[in-house]
Amino acid sequence: MEFSAKQIAEYIHGEIVGNEHATVHTFAKIEEGVPGAISFLSNPKYTHYIYTTQSTIVLVNKDFEPEQPVSATLIKVDNAYESLAQLLTLYEQNKPKKTGIDPLASIAPTAKIGKDVYIGPFACIEAGAEIGDNACIHPHVTVGSHVKIGSNTTLYPHVTIYQDCRIGNNCILHAGCVIGADGFGFAPSPEGYDKIPQIGIVILEDNVEIGANTCVDRATMGATIIHKGVKLDNLIQIAHNVEIGSHTVMASQGGVAGSAKIGEWCVFAGQVGVAGHIKVGDRVTIGAQSGIPGNTKSGSTLMGYPAIDPKLFARSAVIYKKLPDMYEDMRRMQKELEELKKQLNK
């Protein structure tokens, strides 16, 4: 597929600076630009690349003013990164879509399959499962009994969805993620630990994306709920009976303990840990490797363990590095104080 600068500008409502007839057929990072590629510039750290890039077209923010000649055709937009996302979505939608059911797929007679569904080889659709229209189920996916999957949802290879779980429309589940495994529930006894049956389910609402090898556990009773628009990165653990509010995003290697409630529009950086049975408010931002042991107010920005204001955490980190020297100074002052006391007593 090939598009001109004029076509692209019309689609993303941009202003062309340069040749409106310039054409592109691929995407490239601005530092790796090649002729025929479209790139973008949104981070000021990469500004110097715009003067040397070989890309034919570059998306820039409207306030960008070059300090040197630029050979590429520029398209000025309100937000270059968002405009790139729109173009990538358009590109993805125009890729050939897989359809049809492979003869090597295993589909129970009582399963219900919608229109224009793709089911790849060695996928397993168990009894009573329902697959919505235009769903795409890649090889080696397992859809458990009585699972319901909405329309336009994509399950990549080796996704496993346990029995009775609910997946909404327009969801994306990446390779190896597990939805609906048992929550970590055990009761101590004299002989060890007795398993507590996990009889609940998992509900993923519409437009949820789950990263590779991420696990969302089923509830002990009721449901673990991931609300609409949530995006979870790879290698995240969501425990039983957790509820994550709409449009919250979590980077990789995070963990949320059982029955925690996460608000809407939150942003969690990598390796954040959330204690069980607590409530995190709406629009909370949490820095990498932070620990959240208690309830958190809406609108907070936190970092560290226990998580505190980022500026306070930065000041504390500076002091932490000095603690060994401060400890030695304190010991020396204690000795001097003891000597002074002895002299006074004499």
Q: Between β-strands 154-155 and 100-101, what pairing exists: parallel, antiparallel or unpaired?
A: unpaired
Contact 166, 203 (CB under 8 A): yes
Which residue type does 177 have? C
Q: Which is catalytic among the residues 174, 240, 247, 277?
A: 240
CA max distance for the chain: 99
Helices first, then strands: H and E counts in the chain: 3, 39
Contact 108, 129 (CB under 8 A): yes
3-state SS, residue 186:
strand
Distance between CA 100 and CA 67 in Å, rounded?
54
DSSP state at residue 296: B
- Please check whether residue 151 is in contact with residue 134, taking contact to mean a CB–CB distance below 8 angstroms: yes
Task: List the Cα angle 119/120/125 in 5-degree steps.
Answer: 55
Is 138 an annotated catalytic residue?
no
Tell me if 75 sits within 8 A of 9, measured CB to CB. Answer: yes
State which amino acid sits at residue 75: I
The answer to whether the beta carbons of residues 217 and 240 sit under 8 Å apart is yes
Whether 231 contacts 194, CB under 8 Å: no
Pairing state of beta strands 243-244 and 261-262?
parallel
Task: Spell out the residues 6+ positions from residue 192 whose beta carbon is closer than 8 angstroms to its own.
Answer: none
Q: Which residues are catalytic?
A: 240
